[in-house]
Structure 1
């Protein structure tokens, strides 16, 4: 479970300026440290390198790296624009943190600054004969790094911003968020009690989406003040300043004072948009947006929607909160994610927008059948309910009644298998989060 500080540091490392700054500092340091090696090399070197030779190489490297950096940056901007207009705007932030793109731009910018600093140092007589030789060897190494990075970047940029590549990236981050939530269904805290506890309410710090809950910080506050903290909202919930985000119960029966409430609000990160990290529903929702756009009359690409159904199916089949680890925080309580929300986020929009397409409808029913028979208990029950909803939409939207029997056969199988699997009363036995 990441703390708020760890998450802030993680977000910083995903920024272009951070990696570019690190690469640039390393490159500049390598150019300046070449002189410091003078004392460790023999005076009678087997060959010498003139300042003019090194300067010409560095000049060619600097001019080419400046052009390559500008070209790469413009390519990245074009890919972001293509993903925003052709895939979904919610994917832009994910592509901005693309590791291959950040490494390529940082390497090119670092090589440019390395060359620039090396030329300035050569022109001012900073290097001796041995220093020039070291700089020459470092320049050859920098050229090798640039060539390898450039080849990898050319291979990567050909698919950057495409529908398939973007959907694959979203599936990857959604899988990580779902796996983390399966291990910690209550964010590492204790399960939320069935009834809403009595205590002092804590309101949201601002209006926006809850992105992150620092359960470790809440545990520290609760231990310090002799209290139990009940988190009412999960990451992804839209909050207003009148929304209750937590309830505090003090062991001494005292109310939650303003200072404690302020510290609790500081453990919650609220922003204008949702984030993939601690919000597994967001990844499923963005995948569903890709399918909805593909099913629009302007695009008319049912194949992409069918591919998204397969991706969402893989994600939900792997989600099993029964594999949870022991709670890390005994004084913090949180709700579990609602399986109905997961299945709805993944498939409801596809069921609505693809109701008139029998191929999409059939693939959707088959995916729901797989969830009914193989998914976790809560996901299985939610899939059976969504199958009924999808069939109602299909009956109203299908233009040819000849396609209905194929869908009805799968839907009937779903109903039979769901009834057989969930014949016993009860359910998941897990409390769920408030809907948003």
Structure 2
């Protein structure tokens, strides 16, 4: 089962979004820390008296004071580091990638551990000075405190290694590539989100009822199970007009209902669509590719002038796109939501998201223009007829841009030769690369 295959309902998707937020882990770790400090009060009855005589209140209180003072400073420093990394990614990479940095589990676990340790020591200090712990209770608190120290040290060591890379262009590009590849792979398994393909062209059946959006924004998630449950109950079909990633307004409907609307059909269908201010990576593979391309475009800007990063991004985008050319898995034939029709993602759109901006911004740089052609040659070499057609189309456009922007005839000739190798795939039988 794919990573996102189980995220079908709106509640599951909202729960996933909540789990990715920094406050969620911090709250969970803090609650666990407070509960651990209070458990010592209950567990003291199980500690032998002879052991409790060896540990006094001062020993426990000293350790807790050290943890409280140090963890407050470490937490503030770590938060400052994370904010600086987010600011660096915004300036040097792309603002769209900062969400992935903020959702980084290693950074969240480190901050949550530091905050939880601070609260644990604070509650422990209050309990010791209030006399809530007996002699045996202090033994439990002392042992738990030693365990917390071990956890803090291990977390600090991992955090030091991680913070040295946080916010850098390469590290951020890794995260965007992984997210884009995962979204492409998941959508490859469920090309129509588990429904049936939307009939071409994308026009509603005669008499179908449109369901308009009540707000402007991007479709972030579609609750396929809710649509299927309603449609099967009413004996109708739902044709999704705005799949995830679509910007919706009052003119273009979220979906069309073909059949009985019922009393609350329009509201039920509308509630299955989550519309927000920004696109989401989960059900929208094109967004991940677009963010990758933004990194390359910024690197090619006159202010940055870093063609090496653009070339690196081309390699990453090529690897991600190659997953879409893999053999169709058996799960793709399954249709758990037969009463819902969803438009598929076109290969031409995927190629356009990646190669049009980079070929445009890097047309005057021969090394970038060459790598564009080589990337298209690699994708055409998969033997997929859709990839060959899309690669040839993008190669021709990139060649035209390079012809116009490059100064030296020698450079233009190199690009022509590279483009000819891409076009050669169109003249060969499918599955047979050119000689």
8 A contact 1:295–1:353 mirrored in 2: yes
Could you tell me which residue of structure 2 aligns to residue 246 of structure 1?
Answer: 255
| Stretches of structure 1 lacking an aligned partner (at least 5 in a row) | 424-436
Structure 2 counterparts to residues 323-342 of structure 1, below 5 A: 323=329, 324-342=332-350
- Cα separation, 1, equivalents of 2:320 and 2:393: 19
Name the SS for the 2:172 alignment partner: helix
Pair 1:259 & 2:264 matched: yes
| Aligned-residue offset at 1:128 | 1.1
Could you tell me which residue of structure 2 aligns to residue 349 of structure 1?
Answer: 357
Of 203, 207, 211 in structure 1, the residue corresponding to residue 216 of structure 2 is 207
Pair 1:34 & 2:3 matched: no
- Cα separation, 2, equivalents of 1:45 and 1:167: 54
Of stretches 27-36 and 105-114 in structure 1, the one that deviates more from structure 2 is 27-36
Could you tell me which residue of structure 2 aligns to residue 391 of structure 1?
Answer: 399
- Cα separation, 1, equivalents of 2:53 and 2:378: 71
Of 227, 234, 242 in structure 1, the residue corresponding to residue 236 of structure 2 is 227
Sort the Cα spacing of 1:370 and 1:93 in 2 relative to 1 into closer, same or farther, 3 A. same
- Cα separation, 2, equivalents of 1:76 and 1:16: 11
Of stretches 94-103 and 387-396 in structure 1, the one that deviates more from structure 2 is 94-103
Residues 386-419 of structure 1: per-residue CA shift (max 9 Å, x gap) = 0000000000000211112221112111111123
Name the SS for the 1:270 alignment partner: strand
Of 3, 12, 16 in structure 2, the residue corresponding to residue 10 of structure 1 is 16
- Cα separation, 1, equivalents of 2:394 and 2:283: 25
Name the SS for the 1:305 alignment partner: helix
8 A contact 2:212–2:254 mirrored in 1: yes
| Aligned-residue offset at 1:261 | 0.6
Could you tell me which residue of structure 1 aligns to residue 424 of structure 2?
Answer: 416
- Cα separation, 1, equivalents of 2:135 and 2:403: 84
Could you tell me which residue of structure 2 aligns to residue 298 of structure 1?
Answer: 303
Could you tell me which residue of structure 2 aligns to residue 268 of structure 1?
Answer: 273
> Could you tell me the TM-score, scaled by structure 1's length?
0.93
| Aligned-residue offset at 1:18 | 1.0
Name the SS for the 1:233 alignment partner: coil
Name the SS for the 2:324 alignment partner: coil
CA root-mean-square deviation: 1.4
Name the SS for the 2:371 alignment partner: helix
Instruction: Kindly tell me the number of residue pairs found equivalent between the two proteins.
Output: 419
| Aligned-residue offset at 1:379 | 2.9
Residues 57-103 of structure 1: per-residue CA shift (max 9 Å, x gap) = 10011000000000000000000000001100111111111111100
Name the SS for the 1:205 alignment partner: coil
| Stretches of structure 2 lacking an aligned partner (at least 5 in a row) | none
Name the SS for the 1:193 alignment partner: coil
Could you tell me which residue of structure 1 aligns to residue 145 of structure 2?
Answer: 139
8 A contact 2:359–2:372 mirrored in 1: yes
Pair 1:76 & 2:85 matched: no
Sort the Cα spacing of 1:104 and 1:61 in 2 relative to 1 into closer, same or farther, 3 A. same
Name the SS for the 2:367 alignment partner: helix
Could you tell me which residue of structure 1 aligns to residue 131 of structure 2?
Answer: 125
Pair 1:43 & 2:52 matched: no
- Cα separation, 2, equivalents of 1:84 and 1:266: 33
- Cα separation, 2, equivalents of 1:100 and 1:35: 32
Could you tell me which residue of structure 1 aligns to residue 372 of structure 2?
Answer: 364
| Aligned-residue offset at 1:378 | 2.1
- Cα separation, 2, equivalents of 1:91 and 1:355: 25
Of 372, 378, 381 in structure 1, the residue corresponding to residue 389 of structure 2 is 381
8 A contact 1:317–1:376 mirrored in 2: no
8 A contact 2:239–2:256 mirrored in 1: yes
- Cα separation, 1, equivalents of 2:41 and 2:239: 60
Of stretches 67-76 and 14-23 in structure 1, the one that deviates more from structure 2 is 14-23
Of stretches 43-52 and 281-290 in structure 1, the one that deviates more from structure 2 is 43-52
8 A contact 1:79–1:160 mirrored in 2: yes
| Aligned-residue offset at 1:46 | 7.3
